[in-house]
């Protein structure tokens, strides 16, 4: 087998943006179909599928953060890359890493990562809602699409100092009447906050500047 260094080079940023966007769209469709039809078969079966999808969504988020770590790593960071070498073997191409382009990709790749995560999390929340529909103000309106929009609303609502929904006069499409749906929202927000802060720190080099005393 020829070594990777003898194969053609392709820009890593462009390749990952295209594959990430297509993958996110396909995965959202998969989550929609699985969630829609699994609950028609049986609520317990649907909830089991939703739990698996939520775990898959978290794994995708972890891969996204690992990609940022690998592309922004320096020899002294001690980061052992495995995603990029795996992708190079899969595509049989050597990826050319341009730090400026990769940084722009990492920022532009957030919509795809959050689409994967939100769709999985919305499926899980929809499963719990099917078990206890009275936890929401209008249980007759519950659907996966509405739950997905509910968590998109929560995500946008986290943007500080902007008050997007207040300014455009759009209310949360789902109102909780019990504690557990609110806990799901709190956990969701904490995960998103961790992702954003950790990724931003890596992209902006905050950790490196702190360690070097700059």
Q: Please give the chain's pLDDT, 214 residues, in tens.
A: 334 444 445 455 566 667 767 878 888 899 999 998 999 888 889 999 999 988 888 887 777 777 777 776 666 666 677 777 777 777 676 666 665 655 656 666 667 777 888 999 999 999 999 988 889 988 888 899 999 999 999 988 888 777 888 888 888 888 888 899 999 999 999 988 887 777 666 666 544 444 444 4
Kindly compute the dihedral angle of the four CA atoms of residues 60, 185, 180, 61, in this order, to the nearest 10 degrees.
10
Judge contact between 53 and 124, C-beta under 8 A: yes
- List, in order, residues 6 or more apart from 109 with CB less than 8 Å away: 16, 17, 20, 64, 67
Is the Cβ–Cβ distance between 203 and 106 less than 8 Å? yes
Lookup: tokens for 113: 């990562």
Indicate the pTM of the whole model. Answer: 0.73
How far is residue 64's CA from residue 113's CA, in Å, rounded to a whole number? 7
End-to-end Cα spacing for the chain:
46
Residues in the chain: 214
Phi, psi of 100 (to 5 degrees): -65, -45
- CA 98 to CA 207: how far, in whole Å? 21
Residue 11 pairs with which residues in a beta bridge?
96
Per DSSP, helices labelled H in the chain are: 12-41, 43-72, 83-91, 99-108, 110-131, 144-157, 164-168, 179-204, 206-212
- Report how far apart, in Å, the C-alpha atoms of 106 and of each of 36, 74, 160, 191 are: 32, 17, 21, 18
* Radius of gyration (C-alpha) of the chain in whole angstroms: 20
Q: What pLDDT shows up at residue 147? A: 93
Q: What is the pLDDT of residue 6?
A: 40
- Specify the DSSP class assigned to residue 75: G
Distance CA 191, CA 121 (A): 11
Can you give the residue ranges of every domain in the chain?
4-212
pLDDT of residue 210: 43
């Amino acid at each position: 087998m020829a070594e990777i260094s003898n194969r053609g080079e392709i820009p890593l940023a462009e390749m990952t943006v295209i594959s990430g966007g297509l993958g996110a769209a396909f995965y959202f469709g998969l989550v929609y179909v699985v969630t829609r039809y699994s609950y028609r078969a049986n609520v317990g079966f649907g909830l089991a599928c939703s739990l698996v999808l939520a775990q898959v969504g978290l794994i995708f988020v972890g891969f996204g953060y690992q990609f940022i770590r690998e592309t922004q790593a320096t020899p002294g960071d001690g980061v052992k890359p495995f995603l990029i070498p795996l992708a190079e073997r899969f595509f049989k191409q050597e990826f050319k890493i341009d730090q400026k382009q990769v940084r722009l990709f990492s920022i532009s790749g957030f919509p795809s990562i959050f689409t994967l995560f939100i769709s999985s999390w919305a499926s899980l929340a929809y499963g719990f809602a099917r078990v206890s529909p009275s936890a929401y103000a209008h249980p007759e309106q519950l659907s996966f699409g509405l739950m997905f929009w509910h968590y998109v609303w929560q995500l946008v609502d986290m943007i500080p100092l902007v008050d997007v929904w207040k300014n455009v006069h759009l209310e949360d499409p789902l109102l909780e009447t019990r504690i557990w749906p609110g806990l799901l929202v709190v956990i969701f927000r904490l995960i998103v906050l961790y992702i954003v802060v950790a990724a931003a720190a890596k992209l902006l080099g905050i950790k490196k500047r702190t360690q070097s005393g700059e």
